[in-house]
Chain A
Amino acid sequence: MDSDLGLGWPRSCIRNWHQFGLITLKGQLVSNPGGHDALLRPEVYAGHRAASLYLAFLVSSLFSWTGSNALALRNHFCHHPWMGAPYMLLSSVLSLFILKYPVRISQETMHEPLTIRRGMQAAALGAVFCFSFVAVIFYREHGGPPALASNLNPC
C-alpha cells in the first residue's frame, strides 16, 4: 500500500479494476490511463499475465477502507534481475546475520551447534548472494540481452 504514488501500468490496471470491475474488464490488464475509454477501447497490456496482479488487487481491495491505495510491484519473481538482485543481496546478508546472531537469545540457541539444517540455510543464502551478485554484474540491462552474453559474442 502506498500514498497514491504507484507508477506505471500496474497501478493503472488495478485502479481500472476498482473503477470498472474486474469481471467487467474480463480480468485483463486494461491499462488505460485515467480509465479513459477503458470500456470502449481497452488498452490491454500483453507483457504479463493478468494473474500476476490479482494478489495486489485483492490486497488493495481488502484495505481500501483504510484510504490507502495499491502499490503494485511487478517484479515479484525477479524477472528483471538487475532490479531485484540488489534487494536479494541485502536480504541475504541480513538473513545470514540472523543465522549467526539469533534474535531470540536462549540457552538452547546460544549453545546450539552448527547443525546440518542451519548449514543448509547458510549455504542457500550464500547461493542467493552469489546468484544476485552475478545478476547485478552481468545481467543488468533493462529489457536487453545480458551484458555477459553480448561480451562473449564475437560479433
Chain B
Amino acid sequence: MAAPLLSLVTLIRANTARSDVVAMASEQDPHTSRLVGFLPEQLDRSILLTDTVPDSSHPVPAPFFLSPARLDGNKWSLVGQTSDGPLSSLPILRRVSEWYMSRVSRRKPAELLDLVGTYYLYRAPQKLAAARRPSSHDP
C-alpha cells in the first residue's frame, strides 16, 4: 500500500501549494469518506469532501479536485495522475510487503489506506477556482 500512497503524495505536493484545498467527491468512491479522515495528515493538505463532483451549479471553494476516475468533458484540466509504482511489476515483493503488514506488523485495517487504482488530480475551472477559500497562511 505504500507505493500508491507515495505516488499520491508526490502528485499532490508537486502540483499544489501547501495552503491549497483539495476536494473529493464521496459519490465517486465508496472508500472516499473513510480516506478523508486519513489523507489530510498524509498529504499535508486540507481535504474537502463533497457529495457530488463540483460543477457550476455546485461549486466548491477548492482549486483542485482529486478523483479516482477520469472526468468526462473538458471543464476540468488534468494536472496529473498517480502511477502504479515499482512494486506493480514485482508482484512477489508486493506479496512480501503485504505479508509483513498483516503477519508481522499486524497493521489494523483502519490504519491501511486503501489506495487502489489510479487517482487523477484536476484543476478547477476558473469560475470555480474564484470561489477558493481565502487563506492568510499561504507560504
A binds B: yes
A7 to B7: give the CA distance in the assembly, Å.
Answer: 12
Number of B interface residues at 8 Å Cβ cutoff, please give it. Answer: 27
Q: Quick check: is A117 within 8 A (CB to CB) of the other chain?
A: no
Q: Quick check: is B129 within 8 A (CB to CB) of the other chain?
A: no
Task: Enumerate chain B residues within 8 angstroms of A8, measured Cβ to Cβ.
Answer: 41-42
Are B19 and A35 in contact, CB atoms less than 8 angstroms apart?
Answer: yes
Residue of B nearest to A45 (CB): B41
State which of A7, A15, A35, A83 has its C-beta within 8 Å of the C-beta of B9: A7
A39 to B19: give the CA distance in the assembly, Å.
Answer: 14
Q: Quick check: is A56 within 8 A (CB to CB) of the other chain?
A: no
Would you give the shortest CB distance from B85 to chain A, in whole angstroms? 13
A5 to B46: give the CA distance in the assembly, Å.
Answer: 16
Q: Quick check: is B86 within 8 A (CB to CB) of the other chain?
A: no
Residue of B nearest to A144 (CB): B106
Given contacts A4-B13, A5-B9, A142-B107, contact A20 B137 (CB under 8 A): yes
Would you give the shortest CB distance from A139 to chain B, in whole angstroms? 11
State which of A19, A35, A140 has its C-beta within 8 Å of the C-beta of B105: A140
Would you give the shortest CB distance from B97 to chain A, in whole angstroms? 13
Q: Quick check: is A88 within 8 A (CB to CB) of the other chain?
A: no
Q: How large is the interface on A (under 10, 10 to 19, 20 to 34, 35 or more residues)?
A: 20 to 34
Given contacts A7-B9, A19-B139, A36-B137, contact A140 B104 (CB under 8 A): yes
- Please report which residues of chain B, range 75-133, place their CB below 8 angstroms from some CB of chain A when the two chains form the complex: 104-108, 111
A141 to B14: give the CA distance in the assembly, Å.
Answer: 34
Are A141 and B10 in contact, CB atoms less than 8 angstroms apart?
Answer: no
- Please report which residues of chain B, range 1-23, place their CB below 8 angstroms from some CB of chain A when the two chains form the complex: 5-6, 9-10, 13-14, 18-21
Are A82 and B104 in contact, CB atoms less than 8 angstroms apart?
Answer: yes
Are A34 and B44 in contact, CB atoms less than 8 angstroms apart?
Answer: yes
Offer 13 A-B interface pairs, CB within 8 angstroms, sorted by A.
A7-B41, A7-B42, A8-B41, A9-B41, A19-B137, A34-B19, A34-B20, A35-B137, A36-B137, A37-B137, A38-B137, A83-B105, A141-B105
